[in-house]
Chain A
Amino acid sequence: MEWTASGAEAAFKHLNRVWQLCDKIANMDKNQSGEGDKDLLRALHKTIVDVTSGVESFGFNAAIAKLYGFTATLAKSKAGYAAQHEAIRTLAQLMAPMTPHLAEDIWAHQGGQGLIANAPWPKADPELLIEDEVTLPIQINGKRRDEITVAKDMSKEELEALVLQNNAVMKALDGATPKKLVIVPGRIVNVVI
């Protein structure tokens, strides 16, 4: 590996950012509500899964990349205090094996009991890991032209209607009716013209 001064500088900046985030959340109104609580918690629990598997397989760089990603998500989040509080505490736990001193300090500031070193490792909530949206590729005559993100349980009829309003499909049809519209739910859409 290459050890460069700029790399160390970047690492320091990131840890400082996590620290500031902790400070910001600690100063929030404890009753404050917000938007996107569930999105934040979903992202958090996905991060628990990814970091856990990274640590267990010596994929430390991958785990760290996920932690960078989640820190950015948390920084942008407009979620309420409870969700943000849970997020920063869990983030500290996930960082604790790597940056144990910073993690202990965040833990203490966020009302953690005892030492974070002794706290049980966070467990991902399976409920929060279920993806409720799905992205389907749209093919026109067998070639991929676009994709569409829809609710996982959307009916075939609803999906057909949406596909026909898709820009790429409308342009290709140019007002005509498709010869065939093949929809494999959860997998793919194929428009035959």
Chain B
Amino acid sequence: MSSYSPAEIEAKWQEAWAKGETFKAVATADRPKYYVLEMFPYPSGRIHMGHVRNYTMGDVIARYKLSTGHNVLHPMGWDAFGMPAENAAMAIGGHPKEWTYDNIATMRTQMKPLGLSIDWSREFATCDPEYYGQQQALFLDMLANGLVYRKNAMVNWDPVDMTVLANEQVIDGKGWRSNAEVERRELTQWFFNISSMSGELLSALDGLENWPAKVRLMQENWIGQSRGLEMTFPLTTPQDGHEGITVYTTRPDTLVGASFIGLAANHPLTQSLAAQNPALAEFCAECKKMDTTEAAMEKAEKKGFDTGITVQNPLGGAPLPVWVANFVMMDYGTGAIFACPAHDQRDLDFARKYDLPVIDTFFALNDDTPVTDVAFVPAKTETVRWVNQPAGLQEATGQEAIDATIDWAEAQGLGIGKTQYRLRDWGLSRQRYWGCPIPVVHCDSCGVVPEKKENLPVRLPDDVTFDIPGNPLDRHPTWRNCACPACGKAARRETDTMDTFVDSSWYYARFTAPNAATPTDMAEASYWMNVDQYIGGVEHAILHLLYSRFFARAMQICGHLPPSAIEPFDALFTQGMVTHAIYKSEGKDGRPVYHYPEEVALRDGKAFLLDGGAEVTIVPSAKMSKSKNNVVDPISIISSYGADTARWFVLSDSPPSAMWSGPLLVRKRRLSI
């Protein structure tokens, strides 16, 4: 024993572990189990410090649990479908499949020297036909159980790339790649019925004691429960079989301040009126082009169309005009609102623009100033002074008034209290090649028919090209052609693939029996589930975790998980981003130039370029980002100092959970009243 030589000892012990199958997870009755899982990586092609930190933390737990007498399951896989592979194929040629599997091979080679206690025999990639075939089987079971359905939905359509874009891919109304004006199109899409579980997904959060409170709060806000009033305003003159307009409001306490009714462009009454009114039809067509993300809705100019019809005000007084408004959404509430401009800025902007009444419903305790251009919107917990409050309140908080008004309205027979959720159904159709094909067939005689399970997996064809825009599955000469599973006649396959979030919504269950001929093996799933400790980035606090919670419930309904596993992650640890100082100088054109840490020498707290010696600015601790060149390569650290040094160092810095700062809360917003 002379000197510490990591290169020598690390290879030696990794071989010993592999030979002894030290980390092979075996279910036995005599030992308690422990399942530790880090969120599996996307095969981008290179591991970064964030990966090292994530997997090292999980590895510490896994090894500790092994030495405290547990059967430990610590698996690894690849979240391998998705757009970057297609983009690479479009940009540099090649095939998404090759790109992905090459990246996986590279990253596995980079990861192995870390000496992680992973049971590599369970490794899979979500783009393996064995995995996505089982996902298709799961889809068919969910279809049979009413957990997935089809409906028409508006999508962002890029007319140049001929594809649907996610909201995040639309920048200032233009496609992020093509820069073409994005159109709103109505397409038939598949949806998971996640909203049917809103209440359950919300109330079960209380039981997740070992989840960070901030993550539970973010989920709570995302699900967005609100109690409101559903009531009907009778039409002054019935229209085309419509007797009245039913609205849903979370602020029934402001009923006195109602100044008009707002209808969504695709509300049935709007549509029947538009059938006889070309100007209204044109206005509705314009509304449909709008970007309907919350952020965009908030910014967009409020526009309306006066239908000329009116409704009676149940509180008496003048009838209320009915407008079609571009900010009222059909998929929230009833697609119709009553507007109270005095206490809602959006309604106020609209009322001022179209010269509609603004009626103060309550004032601050010591201020009688009527609303002019800024709506008075105090917190619902603040006590205010009411004017002609229907439930007879004088001074009360907004929340007290809401509850009292719902009770009053129910007693008067004007409406009923109703709980609503902001959570919408999850649209899973993607017009993309590199994803899991949706296993259904379109038959002229039978309609939409599920593929037979014995025909799964519906495999992606390999012979596709990306030299022209659009989904290669659509233009493949033969892939679409198939026999109808019901009548046997010639039919066409669905060419949409699944959102890649589907792939990551159940992989944790598949790890318990990665080779099972069904999505899971119930005996194995019952032994290993739940994940005792889940570790990953806080950026997944909402979607991935919510979708997984939904999927675990759906899998239980379909008989693929035991009832004890409907909350799949017992404990959750979210870690911050790995950061490194950024080294910046100014280029000739005045634009910032970023330098890699290896290109810089540090002296007396200052940084100098190794090439030329010019001083550069140190920008402390930003999130590691490729565009700013502050990515420290873990491979070079491991080759210089060894894996143990890299592991020791990523663990030894500040407490991992305290480092994350950022927008903690998803703001509660209402889409319409």
Contact A3-B115, Cβ < 8 Å, known A115-B16, A121-B67: no
Question: Does B14 reach chain A (CB closer than 8 Å)?
Answer: yes
Interface-located stretch among A10-18, A32-40, A76-84, A136-144 = A10-18
Interface string of B18-31 (1 = CB under 8 A from A): 00101100000000
Q: A1-B576, A120-B69 are in contact. Are A98 and B4 (CB under 8 A)?
A: no
Neighbouring A residues of B56 by C-beta, 8 Å: 98
Task: Report the separation of the CA atoms of residues A103 and B69 in the bound assembly, to the nearest whole angstrom.
Answer: 19
Contact with A along B572-588 (1 / 0, CB 8 A): 01001011110000000
Minimum CB–CB distance from A77 to chain B (whole Å) comes to: 20
Chain-B contact segment, one of A19-27, A127-135, A152-160, A166-174: A19-27
Given the known inter-chain contacts A7-B653, A97-B64, A101-B643, please indicate yes or no for A2 contacting B579, CB distance below 8 A. yes
Q: Are B1 and A26 in contact (CB under 8 A)?
A: yes
With contacts A55-B64, A61-B651, A104-B16 taken as known, whether A99 is within 8 angstroms of B641 at the C-beta atoms is no
Which B-chain residue is minimally distant from A108 (CB atoms)?
Answer: B13
How many angstroms from the CA of A120 to the CA of B64 in the assembled complex?
9
Q: If A3-B578, A58-B656 touch, does A8 touch B637 (CB 8 Å cutoff)?
A: yes
Q: Which residue of A lies closest to B646 (CB)?
A: A8
- Chain B residue numbers with a CB within 8 Å of A6 are 602
Please give the distance in Å from A71's CB to the nearest CB on chain B: 12
Distance in angstroms between the alpha carbons of A1 and B61 in the assembled complex: 20
Give CA–CA (A144, B22) in the complex, Å: 57
What's the Cα separation between A20 and B573 when bound, in Å?
35
CB contact between B648 and one of A3, A59, A99, A117 (< 8 Å): that residue:
A99
**Contact assessment for A121 and B68 in the assembled complex, using a CB-CB cutoff below 8 Å:** yes
User: CB distance A19 to B580 under 8 Å?
Assistant: no
Could you tell me the distance in whole angstroms from the C-beta of B625 to the nearest C-beta in chain A?
13
Report which of B60, B632, B642 forms a contact with A97, defined as CB distance below 8 A: B60
- Chain B CB within 8 A of A102 CB: yes
B641 with A11: CB separation less than 8 A = yes
Whether, in the assembled complex, A60 has its beta carbon less than 8 Å from a beta carbon of chain B, the answer is yes
Q: Which of A20, A98, A115 contacts B647 (CB 8 A)?
A: A98
Q: Which of A79-127 contact B (CB under 8 A)?
A: 93, 96-102, 104-105, 109, 115, 117-121
Nearest CB of A to B603, in Å: 12
Is A59 in contact with B13, judged by CB distance below 8 angstroms?
no
Bound-state CA distance A1–B624 (Å) is 10
Q: Given A2-B621, A8-B641, A8-B645, are A58 and B657 also a contact pair (CB < 8 Å)?
A: yes
Name the residue on A nearest B656 (C-beta).
Answer: A58
B633-673 near A? 1/0 per residue, CB < 8 Å: 00001001111111111111111110100000000000000
Give the Cβ gap from A72 to chain B, nearest Cβ, in Å. Answer: 15
User: Whole-angstrom distance between the alpha carbons of A19 and B6 in the complex?
Assistant: 11
B652 nearest CB neighbor, chain A only: A64
A-side contacts of B632, CB under 8 Å: 3
The distance in angstroms between the C-alpha atoms of A56 and B17, with both chains bound, is 24
Out of B16, B68, B115, B655, which one reaches A120, CB within 8 Å? B68
Interface of A is mostly: helix
Q: Which of B4, B68, B643, B645 contacts A20 (CB 8 A)?
A: B4
A16 CB, nearest partner CB in chain B, Å: 4
A101 contacts B4, C-beta separation under 8 Å: no
B182 adjacent to chain A (CB < 8 Å)? no
Using CB atoms, name the residue of chain B closest to A9: B641
Report B44-86 CB contacts with A as 1/0, cut-off 8 Å. 0000010001001101110110111100000000000000000
Which residue of chain B has its CB nearest to the CB of A63? B651
Partner of B644, one of A7, A56, A100: A100
Q: What's the least CB distance linking B541 to chain A, in Å?
A: 17
Min distance, Cβ A78 to any Cβ of chain B, angstroms: 22
Q: Please name all residues of chain B whose beta carbon is closer than 8 Å to the beta carbon of A176 when the two chains form the complex.
A: none
Cα–Cα, bound, A30→B452 (Å): 72
Whether a CB of chain B sits under 8 angstroms from the CB of A5 is yes
Assembly CA distance A4 to B6 (angstroms): 20
Q: How far is the CB of B8 from chain A (nearest CB, A)?
A: 9
- Report the separation of the CA atoms of residues A178 and B565 in the bound assembly, to the nearest whole angstrom: 69
Interface pair B59/A97, CB less than 8 Å apart: yes
Q: Which residues of A contact B642 (CB under 8 A)?
A: 12, 15, 101
Closest Cβ–Cβ distance, residue B422 to chain A (whole Å): 32
When distances are taken between beta carbons in the complex, the residues of chain A under 8 Å from B602 are 5-6
A61 in contact with B621 (CB, 8 Å): no
Asked if B49 contacts A3 (CB within 8 A), the reply is yes
Distance (whole angstroms) from the CB of B373 to the closest CB of chain A: 47
Q: How far is the CB of B636 from chain A (nearest CB, A)?
A: 10
| Cross-chain contact A101 with B14 (CB below 8 angstroms) | yes
CB–CB B9/A101 < 8 A: yes
For B62, the closest partner residue in chain A by CB is A97
Contact A61 B117 (CB under 8 A): no
**Would you call B570 an interface residue if the criterion is a C-beta within 8 Å of the partner chain's C-beta atoms?**
no
B648 pairs with A1, CB closer than 8 A = no
In contact, A5 and B597 (Cβ under 8 angstroms)? yes
Would you call A12 and B645 a contact (CB within 8 A)?
yes
CA distance A61 to B64 in the complex (A): 16
Contact between B16 and A15 (Cβ–Cβ < 8 Å)? Answer: no
**Can you list 19 A-B pairs, Cβ within 8 angstroms, ordered by A?**
A1-B653, A2-B579, A5-B597, A5-B602, A6-B602, A8-B640, A9-B641, A12-B645, A19-B3, A58-B655, A60-B60, A64-B652, A98-B56, A99-B647, A100-B13, A101-B643, A105-B12, A117-B67, A118-B66
With A3-B579, A98-B644 given, name 5 new contacts (CB 8 A).
A1-B53, A61-B651, A97-B60, A101-B12, A104-B13
Interface residues in chain A, defined as those with a beta carbon under 8 Å from any beta carbon in chain B: 1-9, 11-12, 14-16, 19-20, 22-23, 26, 55-56, 58-62, 64-65, 93, 96-102, 104-105, 109, 115, 117-121
4 A-B pairs closest in CB distance? A99-B644, A19-B4, A11-B649, A97-B63
